[in-house]
């Protein structure tokens, strides 16, 4: 008996529940009443509102990724410099929030930011005028950063903590001071972690929905919301256009993954951080 047999149940499962559904999206995106058409795709790409939403999604995701990187890298770096036991405990602390349902976490921000919420109460207490925090683009960004920050910290921390200390010592030995060592040695070597962090934040960020609904009040629709709208509100009639939108999103994701992968390979070669 060959061990390959053990994979067969999964292969069957996979064909029915992974491959077939994906093919259905492709099918509906490119057909209308059973005939091949590019109309769905063309419709999705020429609709001005759709394109606006797409651009906004990409823009917010980009900004959120940059913010996550700027906030997350120092955290990962500081953690990696600590004693192993302290670091592992602290890194758990940074993951724990993810164990609360993301809708609840997002909802909590709604409470914090609302006009009569805690933040505004604090402002009032120190005598400042109340601000409109909720239902702004910044609120949507905040929610995105909040939800995905741990995804940036973890891969960078992993790479940094596995880094060979002797390489840093070698840099010091060769006369590099602290900042030089960081920018010439540590940063390039941690690039694989940075890139996978970027991937892990950027991709969920462009495809997210619900965050914008809860914190943007529906005013700042993202591409995910658009797709949800097609399927949930419009039902089966919109399967064609909805599939076309999903297809565009998927292509976008695949392109960004390809870009990241190439960057990772280059970073790997340059920094020698990863051995293939």
Partner 1 sequence: MVKKLRTFFKGTYLGLMLVFLYAPILVLMIFSFNSSKTMGNWTGFSFRWYEALFKDATIMNALWVTLSVAVISAVVSTFIGTFAAIGLNSMKKRPRAVIENISQLPVVNPDLVTGISFMMLFASLGIRDGYTRMLIAHITFNIPYVILSVMPKLRQSSNMLYEAAMDLGCTPWQALTRVVIPDIMPGIVSGFIMAFTLSLDDFVVSWFATDGIQNLSIYIYSSARRGISPKINALSTLMFVAVVTLLLFINLKSIREEREADIQNKKLRAKSR
Q: Footprint of partner 1 on residues 77-116 (CB under 8 A)?
A: 78-79, 85, 88-90, 92-94, 96-105, 107-112, 114, 116
* Count of residues touching partner 1 (by CB under 8 A): 80
Contacts for 203 with CB less than 8 Å, ≥ 6 apart: 253, 256, 257
Q: How far apart are CA 129 and CA 146, in angstroms?
A: 25
Q: How far apart are CA 176 and CA 58, in angstroms?
A: 39
CB of 184 to partner 1, least distance (A): 21
Q: How many CB atoms lie within 10 A of CB 273?
A: 20
CB of 46 to partner 1, least distance (A): 22
CB 267 within 8 A of CB 192: yes
Distances (CA, A) of 13 to 5, 59, 187: 14, 37, 43
Q: Name the segment binding partner 1 (CB under 8 A); options: 46-54, 161-169, 228-236, 260-268.
A: 228-236
Candidate residues 187, 228, 229, 268; the one interacting with partner 1 per rule CB under 8 A = 228
CB closer to partner 1 out of 74 and 272 = 74
Of 174-213, binders to partner 1 (CB under 8 A) are 203-204, 206-207, 209-210, 213
Task: Report if residue 18 touches partner 1, rule: CB under 8 A.
Answer: yes
Q: Name the segment binding partner 1 (CB under 8 A); options: 59-67, 124-132, 155-163, 248-256.
A: 248-256
CB 149 within 8 A of CB 68: yes
Distances (CA, A) of 219 to 86, 137, 213, 249: 43, 9, 8, 21
Of 140-169, binders to partner 1 (CB under 8 A) are 146, 149-150
Task: Report if residue 171 touches partner 1, rule: CB under 8 A.
Answer: no
DSSP 182-209: IIIIIHHHTHHHHHHHHHHHHHHHHH--
Q: How many CB atoms lie within 10 A of CB 30?
A: 18
CB 59 within 8 A of CB 222: no
Q: How far apart are CA 244 and CA 24, in angstroms?
A: 11
CB closer to partner 1 out of 116 and 166 = 116
Q: Name the segment binding partner 1 (CB under 8 A); options: 16-24, 55-63, 160-168, 262-270.
A: 16-24
Of 30-59, binders to partner 1 (CB under 8 A) are none
CB closer to partner 1 out of 55 and 232 = 232
Q: Name the segment binding partner 1 (CB under 8 A); options: 40-48, 131-139, 237-245, 266-274.
A: 237-245
CB of 135 to partner 1, least distance (A): 12
Q: Name the segment binding partner 1 (CB under 8 A); options: 158-166, 183-191, 247-255, 264-272.
A: 247-255
Candidate residues 7, 55, 128, 130; the one interacting with partner 1 per rule CB under 8 A = 7
Q: Name the segment binding partner 1 (CB under 8 A); options: 10-18, 35-43, 186-194, 263-271.
A: 10-18
Task: Report if residue 239 touches partner 1, rule: CB under 8 A.
Answer: yes
User: Residue 42, Cα to own-chain centre: how many angstroms?
Assistant: 27
Q: How far apart are CA 266 and CA 260, in angstroms?
A: 10
Q: How far apart are CA 33 and CA 47, in angstroms?
A: 22
């Amino acid at each position: 008996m060959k061990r390959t047999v053990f994979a067969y149940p999964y292969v069957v499962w996979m064909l029915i529940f992974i491959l077939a559904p994906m093919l259905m999206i492709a099918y509906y995106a490119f057909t209308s009443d059973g005939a091949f058409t590019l109309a769905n795709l063309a419709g999705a790409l020429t609709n001005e509102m759709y394109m606006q939403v797409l651009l906004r999604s990409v823009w917010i995701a980009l900004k959120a990724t940059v913010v996550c990187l700027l906030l997350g890298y120092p955290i990962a770096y500081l953690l990696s410099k600590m004693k192993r036991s302290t670091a592992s405990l602290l890194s758990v602390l940074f993951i724990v929030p993810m164990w609360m349902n993301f809708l609840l976490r997002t909802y909590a921000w709604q409470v914090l930011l609302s006009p009569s919420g805690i933040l505004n109460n604090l402002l009032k207490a120190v005598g400042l005028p109340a601000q409109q925090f909720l239902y702004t683009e910044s609120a949507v960004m905040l929610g995105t950063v909040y939800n995905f920050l741990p995804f940036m910290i973890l891969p960078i921390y992993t790479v940094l903590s596995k880094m060979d200390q002797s390489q840093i010592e070698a840099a010091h030995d060769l006369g590099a001071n602290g900042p030089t060592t960081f920018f010439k040695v540590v940063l390039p070597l941690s690039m694989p972690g940075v890139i996978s962090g970027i991937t892990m934040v950027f991709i969920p960020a462009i495809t997210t929905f619900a965050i914008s609904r809860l914190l943007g009040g529906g005013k700042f629709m993202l591409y995910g919301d658009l797709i949800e709208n097609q399927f949930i509100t419009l039902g089966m009639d919109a399967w064609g256009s909805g599939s076309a939108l999903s297809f565009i999103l998927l292509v976008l994701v695949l392109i960004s993954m390809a870009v990241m992968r190439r960057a990772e390979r280059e970073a790997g070669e340059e920094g020698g951080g990863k051995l293939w």
